């Protein structure tokens, strides 16, 4: 867990499974995954929504975001999670999914701001992939990205592609520098599910009950 980005008492834990019958019923790598249990906003207090961040705050420090060209994961999305999502969402809650987050020093010459978060919001998984493991969700090619601090035109009100995000941070000076890399859920809607096969460039991170295995992609 990344403590400063965790709110409430959510669960983000390495686990076995989940395993269900049929095609794509097992985790895509090994026997385990990263399980999430995150509570959403309640009617009594909209500030009580939880947030969980599970990631690495050591090994990627200082790496150049502009050199990232592969990023994504597999997800175990349930029908129940659709019901927990926004009923006004055109995909009927289908975007109620974990995100990928890079904490960054944007290093923009036009700003003294030395902190932002690049967040990926996935597209809904296909209906055929509900209640089982999805295929690879490619964050470099699908879904949308934004910066939390409004440092560029790629923001929550005007989300962009990954290529557009990188272009917006490339001003010819120092490159945007990664601080942390991980998977997050919250603070919005309840979600119970799992993630596996988190990819960053040439490595896929296989979540297992006894730890995280880095698999080099050939």
- Which of 10-24, 44-58, 63-77 shows the lowest per-residue confidence on average (mean pLDDT)? 44-58
Beta bridge pairs of residue 56: 181
- pLDDT score, position 86: 85
Nearest residue to 104 via CA among 151, 163, 35 = 151
Q: pLDDT at residue 59 above 70?
A: yes
Whole-prediction pTM value? 0.94
- pLDDT score, position 112: 81
> In terms of C-beta density within 10 A (0-12 exposed, 13-18 middle, 19 or more buried), how is residue 142 classed?
middle
- What Cα–Cα distance (Å) separates residue 168 from each residue in 128, 143, 207? 35, 17, 32
The chain-wide mean pLDDT, for the chain, equals 93
Which of the four pLDDT bands, split at 50, 70 and 90, describes residue 45?
low
Segment 78-98 shows an average pLDDT of 89
- pLDDT score, position 15: 98
Segment 130-154 shows an average pLDDT of 96
Which are the contacts of 209, defined by CB distance < 8 A and separation ≥ 6?
Answer: 14, 15, 16, 31, 32
Strands (E), 71-188: 71-77, 99-105, 116-121, 132-133, 137-138, 144-147, 177-186
Comparing 10 with 104, the larger pLDDT belongs to 104
The fraction of the chain above a pLDDT of 70, given in percent, is: 98
């Amino acid at each position: 867990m990344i403590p400063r980005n965790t709110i409430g008492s959510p669960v983000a834990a390495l686990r076995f499974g989940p395993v269900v019958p049929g095609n794509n019923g097992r985790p895509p790598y090994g026997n385990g995954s990263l399980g999430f249990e995150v509570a959403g906003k309640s009617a009594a207090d909209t500030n009580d929504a939880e947030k969980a961040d599970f990631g690495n705050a050591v090994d990627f420090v200082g790496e150049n975001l502009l050199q990232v060209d592969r990023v994504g994961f597999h997800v175990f999305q349930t029908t129940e999670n659709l019901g927990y999502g926004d009923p006004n969402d055109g995909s009927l809650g289908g975007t109620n999914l974990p995100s990928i987050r890079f904490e960054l020093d944007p290093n923009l010459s036009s700003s003294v701001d030395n902190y932002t978060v690049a967040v990926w919001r996935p597209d809904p998984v296909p209906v055929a992939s509900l209640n089982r493991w999805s295929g690879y969700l490619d964050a470099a090619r699908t879904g949308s990205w934004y910066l939390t601090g409004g440092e560029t035109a790629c923001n929550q009100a005007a989300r962009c592609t990954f290529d557009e995000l990188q272009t917006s941070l490339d001003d010819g000076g120092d490159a945007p520098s990664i601080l942390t890399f991980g998977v997050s859920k919250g603070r919005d809607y309840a979600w119970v599910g799992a993630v596996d096969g988190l990819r960053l460039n040439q490595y896929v991170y296989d979540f297992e009950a006894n730890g995280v295995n880095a698999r080099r992609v050939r």
